[in-house]
A and B are shown apart, each in its own frame.
Chain A
Amino acid sequence: MHHKHLLSAAAVLVSSLSANAFAEEVNVYSNRQDFLIAPIVEAFTKDTGIDVNVVFIKDGMGERLEREGRLSPADLVLTVDVSRLMDVVDKDLTQPLDNKVLEENIPAQYRDADGRWFALTTRARAVYSSVERVGKRDDITYEELADPKYKGKLCTRSGKHPYNVALTASMIAEHGSEYTKTWLEGLKANLAQKPQGGDRDQVKAIKDGVCDYSLGNSYYYGVMLSNDKQREWAEAVHINFPNQADRGTHVNISAMALTKHAKNKDAAVKLMEFLSNDQAQHLYASANHEYPVKPDVEPSELVKGWGEFKSDTLPLTDVAKHAKEALQLLDEVQYDL
Chain B
Amino acid sequence: MKRLGWTVSSWGLALVLTLPVLALVYEALLPTEDIFHHLWSTVLPVYIGNTFWLVLAVMGFSLLCGLPAAWLMAMCELPGKRWLQWALILPLAMPSYIVAFVYTDLLDYSGPVQAALRGWFGWQSSTEYYFPPIRTLGGAAIVLGLVLYPYVYLLARTAFLEQSTNLIQSSRLLGCTPWQSFKRVSLPLARPSIAVGLSLVAMETLADFGTVHFFAVSTLTTAVYDTWLGYGSLNAAAKIAAIMLLVVTLLLSMERMSRKRQQVFQKTMEHEQETGYRLTGLTRLAALGYCWGLVTIGFLLPFAILCYHAVYYFDQAWNAKFFQYSANSLLLSTLVALLAILLAVMLGMSHRLKGRAYTALPMRLASMGYALPGTVLAIGVLIPLTGMDFAINDLALWLGLREPGLVLTGTMTAIAFGYLVRFAAMAVGAVESSINKVSPSLDMVTQTLGYGPGAMIARVHIPLIRKGILAGALLVFIECMKELPAALLLRPFNFHTLATYVYQFVSDEQLELGALPAIVIVLVGLIPLIFLNRSLEQHH
CA gap between A54 and B136 in the complex, in Å: 36
Measured between C-beta atoms, what is the minimum distance from A274 to chain B in Å?
A: 20
- Contact A6/B338 with A59-B230, A63-B234, A200-B509 known, Cβ cut-off 8 Å: yes
Contacts of B53 in A (CB 8 A): none
Contacts of B488 in A (CB 8 A): 58
Contacts of B508 in A (CB 8 A): 33
Other-chain contact of B215, A13, A33, A196, A334 (Cβ < 8 Å) = A196
Are the CB atoms of A204 and B110 closer together than 8 Å? yes
B208 on the interface (CB 8 Å rule)?
Answer: no
B46 on the interface (CB 8 Å rule)?
Answer: yes
Contacts of B493 in A (CB 8 A): 27, 53-55, 73
Other-chain contact of A198, B46, B218, B407, B509 (Cβ < 8 Å) = B509
- Contact A160/B110 with A58-B488, A67-B382 known, Cβ cut-off 8 Å: no
Contacts of A33 in B (CB 8 A): 504, 508
B42 on the interface (CB 8 Å rule)?
Answer: yes
Nearest residue in B to A36 (C-beta to C-beta)? B508
A2 on the interface (CB 8 Å rule)?
Answer: yes
Nearest residue in A to B336 (C-beta to C-beta)? A9
Are the CB atoms of B46 and A337 closer together than 8 Å? yes
Are the CB atoms of B42 and A68 closer together than 8 Å? no
Contacting chain A: which of B157-165, B410-418, B425-433?
A: B410-418
Measured between C-beta atoms, what is the minimum distance from A5 to chain B in Å?
A: 5
Nearest residue in A to B34 (C-beta to C-beta)? A328
Are the CB atoms of A16 and B331 closer together than 8 Å? no
Nearest residue in B to A90 (C-beta to C-beta)? B232
Are the CB atoms of A194 and B136 closer together than 8 Å? yes
CA gap between A154 and B410 in the complex, in Å: 44
Are the CB atoms of B109 and A208 closer together than 8 Å? yes
Are the CB atoms of A201 and B46 closer together than 8 Å? no
Are the CB atoms of A2 and B338 closer together than 8 Å? yes
CA gap between A193 and B215 in the complex, in Å: 12
Tally of contact residues, A, Cβ under 8 A: 57
Are the CB atoms of A195 and B125 closer together than 8 Å? no
Contacts of A328 in B (CB 8 A): 38, 42
Contacting chain A: which of B171-179, B300-308, B386-394, B522-530?
A: B386-394
B231 on the interface (CB 8 Å rule)?
Answer: yes
A43 on the interface (CB 8 Å rule)?
Answer: no
Are the CB atoms of A13 and B411 closer together than 8 Å? yes
Contacts of A12 in B (CB 8 A): 331, 412
Contacts of A332 in B (CB 8 A): 42
B43 on the interface (CB 8 Å rule)?
Answer: yes
Contacts of B311 in A (CB 8 A): none
Are the CB atoms of A59 and B229 closer together than 8 Å? yes
Are the CB atoms of A229 and B108 closer together than 8 Å? no
Contacts of B492 in A (CB 8 A): 16, 55
Contacts of B407 in A (CB 8 A): 17
Other-chain contact of B42, A193, A197, A201, A334 (Cβ < 8 Å) = A334
Are the CB atoms of B335 and A16 closer together than 8 Å? no
Measured between C-beta atoms, what is the minimum distance from B285 to chain A in Å?
A: 37
Other-chain contact of A71, B389, B411, B489 (Cβ < 8 Å) = B389
Are the CB atoms of A336 and B218 closer together than 8 Å? yes
B423 on the interface (CB 8 Å rule)?
Answer: no
Contacts of B43 in A (CB 8 A): 331, 334, 337
- Contact A230/B509 with A71-B403, A332-B42 known, Cβ cut-off 8 Å: yes
Contacts of B390 in A (CB 8 A): 69, 71
Q: Which of B487-501 contact A (CB under 8 A)?
A: 488-489, 491-495
Other-chain contact of A17, B135, B409, B411 (Cβ < 8 Å) = B411
Other-chain contact of B125, A71, A87, A209, A230 (Cβ < 8 Å) = A209
A244 on the interface (CB 8 Å rule)?
Answer: no
B405 on the interface (CB 8 Å rule)?
Answer: yes
Other-chain contact of B216, A72, A158, A165 (Cβ < 8 Å) = A158
Are the CB atoms of A193 and B110 closer together than 8 Å? no
Interface string of B369-383 (1 = CB under 8 A from A): 000000000000011
Contacts of B153 in A (CB 8 A): none
Are the CB atoms of A196 and B216 closer together than 8 Å? yes
Are the CB atoms of A160 and B386 closer together than 8 Å? no
Are the CB atoms of A193 and B133 closer together than 8 Å? yes
Q: Which of A4-28 contact B (CB under 8 A)?
A: 5-6, 8-9, 12-13, 16-17, 27
Other-chain contact of A196, B38, B135, B231, B382 (Cβ < 8 Å) = B135
CA gap between A195 and B127 in the complex, in Å: 19
Interface string of B108-122 (1 = CB under 8 A from A): 111000000000000
- Contact A208/B108 with A2-B338, A200-B509 known, Cβ cut-off 8 Å: yes
Contacts of B46 in A (CB 8 A): 334, 337
Measured between C-beta atoms, what is the minimum distance from A167 to chain B in Å?
A: 15
Other-chain contact of A331, B39, B229, B403 (Cβ < 8 Å) = B39
Q: Which of A53, A67, A73, A209 has the most CB of B within 10 A?
A: A67
Other-chain contact of B232, A54, A63, A197, A205 (Cβ < 8 Å) = A63
- Contact A160/B136 with A71-B393, A72-B406, A198-B509 known, Cβ cut-off 8 Å: no
Contacts of B126 in A (CB 8 A): 208-210
Are the CB atoms of A13 and B412 closer together than 8 Å? yes
A175 on the interface (CB 8 Å rule)?
Answer: no
B334 on the interface (CB 8 Å rule)?
Answer: yes
Contacts of A324 in B (CB 8 A): 231
CA gap between A62 and B233 in the complex, in Å: 11
Measured between C-beta atoms, what is the minimum distance from B480 to chain A in Å?
A: 13
B228 on the interface (CB 8 Å rule)?
Answer: yes
Are the CB atoms of B230 and A8 closer together than 8 Å? no
B270 on the interface (CB 8 Å rule)?
Answer: no
Contacts of A67 in B (CB 8 A): 382-383, 386, 409
Measured between C-beta atoms, what is the minimum distance from B122 to chain A in Å?
A: 15
Are the CB atoms of A327 and B338 closer together than 8 Å? no
- Contact A331/B42 with A60-B229, A68-B406 known, Cβ cut-off 8 Å: yes
Measured between C-beta atoms, what is the minimum distance from B337 to chain A in Å?
A: 9
Are the CB atoms of A63 and B228 closer together than 8 Å? yes
CA gap between A56 and B491 in the complex, in Å: 9
A188 on the interface (CB 8 Å rule)?
Answer: no
Are the CB atoms of A71 and B335 closer together than 8 Å? no
Contacts of A322 in B (CB 8 A): none
Nearest residue in B to A328 (C-beta to C-beta)? B38
B226 on the interface (CB 8 Å rule)?
Answer: yes
Contacts of B386 in A (CB 8 A): 67-69
Known: A6-B335, A327-B231. 12 other contacts (CB 8 A): A17-B404, A54-B494, A59-B230, A196-B216, A205-B109, A209-B109, A209-B127, A210-B109, A227-B510, A332-B42, A334-B42, A334-B46
The 8 A-B pairs with the shortest beta carbon distances in the complex, nearest first, are A59-B229, A196-B216, A208-B109, A60-B229, A331-B42, A9-B335, A53-B493, A209-B125
A-B contacts, 18 of them at CB < 8 A, read A2-B338, A8-B331, A9-B331, A9-B335, A12-B412, A17-B404, A54-B494, A55-B493, A60-B229, A62-B232, A71-B390, A193-B133, A196-B216, A208-B126, A209-B126, A227-B510, A327-B231, A334-B43
